[in-house]
Amino acid sequence: MLLELRAPHNERLSIELPVEAAHLGTPFNGSLCAEDGQLFSIDRNIVQLVENKRTFDTLAQLYNHVPVTAQVYEDLWRRRSIGLLSGEDFSLEEEKKLLLDWTEPKGGEKILDLGCSTAFYARSLQDYEPGAQTVALDLSLPMLQKAREKAVEEEVDLFLLQADARQLPFFSDTFDLVAMGGTLNEVSNTAQVLTEIRRVLRPNGRFFIMYLLKSTHWLGRVAQESSSLGGLHYWTYEESKNLFKGAGFTIDRVETKGIVAFALLG
Ligand SMILES: C[S@@+](CC[C@H](N)C(=O)[O-])C[C@H]1O[C@@H](n2cnc3c(N)ncnc32)[C@H](O)[C@@H]1O
C-alpha 98: how far from chain center: 17
Distance 165 CA to ligand 1 centre (A): 9
| pLDDT tens, position by position, 114-173 | 999 999 999 999 999 999 999 999 999 999 999 999 999 999 999 999 999 999 999 999
Please indicate whether residue 65, judged by its CB atom, sits closer than 6 Å to ligand 1.
Answer: no
Give domain limits for the chain. 44-265
Distance 117 CA to ligand 1 centre (A): 5
Q: Which of 175, 186, 143 is nearest to 161 (CA)?
A: 143
Can you give the pTM of this predicted structure?
A: 0.95
Please indicate whether residue 211, judged by its CB atom, sits closer than 6 Å to ligand 1.
Answer: no
SS3 helix, strand, coil % of the chain, rounded to 5?
35, 25, 40
The answer to whether 95 and 255 are in contact (CB under 8 A) is no
Please indicate whether residue 174, judged by its CB atom, sits closer than 6 Å to ligand 1.
Answer: no
Please indicate whether residue 165, judged by its CB atom, sits closer than 6 Å to ligand 1.
Answer: yes
| pLDDT tens, position by position, 53-88 | 666 777 777 778 888 889 988 988 888 888 888 888
Q: Does domain 44-265 have CATH number 3.40.640.10?
A: no
Please indicate whether residue 120, judged by its CB atom, sits closer than 6 Å to ligand 1.
Answer: yes
Residue 51, pLDDT score: 72
| pLDDT tens, position by position, 199-224 | 999 999 999 999 999 988 888 888 88
The answer to whether 124 and 146 are in contact (CB under 8 A) is no
Atom of ligand 1 nearest to the CA of 185: 1
CA distances from 107 to 125, 129, 147, 206, 252 (A): 11, 6, 22, 15, 22
Please indicate whether residue 116, judged by its CB atom, sits closer than 6 Å to ligand 1.
Answer: yes
Q: Classify burial at 152, counting beta carbons within 10 Å of its beta carbon; exposed 0-12, middle 13-18, buried 19 or more.
A: middle
Mean pLDDT, rounded, for 223-251: 91
Atom of ligand 1 nearest to the CA of 164: 20
The answer to whether 32 and 39 are in contact (CB under 8 A) is yes
Which residue, judged by its Cα, is nearest atom 8 of ligand 1? Answer: 181
If one residue of 54, 59, 114, 117 were mutated to test the ligand 1 pocket, choosing by the most ligand atoms within 8 A of its CB, it would be 117
Please indicate whether residue 95, judged by its CB atom, sits closer than 6 Å to ligand 1.
Answer: no
Please indicate whether residue 205, judged by its CB atom, sits closer than 6 Å to ligand 1.
Answer: no
